[in-house]
Amino acid sequence: MYLDHFGLNELPFGITPDTSYTVITRSHQEALNTLLIALASGEGFIKITGEVGTGKTLLCRRLLQALPADAVSAYLPNPYLAPRTLLLALAEELGLGVATDADDYHLLQSVNQALTAHAAAGRQVVVCIDEAQAMPLETLESLRLLSNLETEKRKLLQIILFGQPELDRKLAEPSVRQLLQRIAFHYRLQGLDRQEVANYLAHRLRVAGYRGEGVFAARAVRCLHRASRGTPRLLNILAHKALLAVYGEGRYAVRSAHVRAAAADTEGASAPGWW
């Protein structure tokens, strides 16, 4: 790879969400603020949507880090589950020793008792569901019924749905209209603008250990912005391929030609244009 060539400690443009590489963009900060305000308001359901690669999972991790120390959190990365299996997964995340052969009534009672105990101790319970667009409709409805658990003052748990735009279409189904009506706060993640792309590239290089002059020329940044449409995951893939091309030539600066070559080799990339 090109680590020694550029003086890097690690690859700067991996696609695995890593909070140490977090760049505070306008859209992400607005989304995080929306989540924190909604949670402080005691809302039962919150929805965050965004295209593939816009950083929904990273935002979820940032939120979990920002929760109060005494908060109880549950993270479900794969919600393509039957209603009962979802309840078992939630019980496991809450640390309940529930027998898998327990009937639905006693399973729900165990979860309810645990949530009531947390509420009595003043602890907030937050459930984050990633890739929520994959949830079957009957599981979404069971989630709504689960949100009915409450005291006279507050909800026993708060549920955040992170999903692709397909989640909006699923929630528009008549069978889950009651759930849609309960979503008081929602936010749609947007891509990075051109200046944010430049800051993003420079920040990730610094975190990876780069200490030299600018690697990406201004025209290369414009090409990357257009080719990636400001989508962080796609931007990482293109930047990585562009650095490979530069390394292969024995050079140290990424030009627009390198970005065009990377875009031509990447599924989903837009035409970066010709400057």
30 with 152, same domain? yes
Query: For residue 15, is it within any domain?
Result: no
Range of the domain at 150: 26-188
Residue 152 in this model has a pLDDT that exceeds 80: no
Instruction: Over range 64-74, report the average pLDDT.
Output: 91
173 with 62, same domain? yes
Half-sphere exposure of 170 (CA within 13 A, CB side): 19
| Spatial separation of the C-alpha atoms in residues 55 and 25, rounded to whole Å | 11
214 with 132, same domain? no
For the chain, the domain total comes to 2
Q: What is the mean pLDDT of the chain?
A: 90
Query: pLDDT by residue (tens digit) across 94-127?
Result: 888 777 777 888 888 888 888 888 888 989 999 9
Query: For residue 14, is it within any domain?
Result: no
127 with 173, same domain? yes
Most confident range, picked from 16-20, 88-92, 223-227: 223-227
Share of the chain above pLDDT 70, in %: 98
pTM here is 0.86
Instruction: Over range 177-184, report the average pLDDT.
Output: 89
Query: For residue 85, is it within any domain?
Result: yes
Instruction: Over range 163-174, report the average pLDDT.
Output: 93
209 with 134, same domain? no
Q: Which of 188, 210, 231 is the last residue of a domain?
A: 188
**Residue 150: predicted pLDDT:** 72
**Residue 24: predicted pLDDT:** 85
179 with 144, same domain? yes
Q: What CATH number is given to the structural domain containing 101? A: 3.40.50.300
71 with 93, same domain? yes
Query: pLDDT by residue (tens digit) across 198-233?
Result: 999 999 999 999 988 889 999 999 999 999 999 999
User: Alpha-carbon dihedral of residues 234, 237, 239, 245, nearest 10 degrees?
Assistant: -140
Q: Which residues contact 260 (CB under 8 A, 6 or more apart)?
A: 223, 227, 272, 274
Q: Which of 188, 207, 241 is the last residue of a domain?
A: 188
162 with 64, same domain? yes
Most confident range, picked from 18-32, 84-98, 149-163, 230-244: 230-244
149 with 197, same domain? no
Query: For residue 271, is it within any domain?
Result: no
57 with 126, same domain? yes
Instruction: Over range 170-174, report the average pLDDT.
Output: 92
Q: Which of 132, 155, 188 is the last residue of a domain?
A: 188
Instruction: Over range 151-170, report the average pLDDT.
Output: 88
Residue 151 in this model has a pLDDT that exceeds 70: no
**Residue 104: predicted pLDDT:** 82
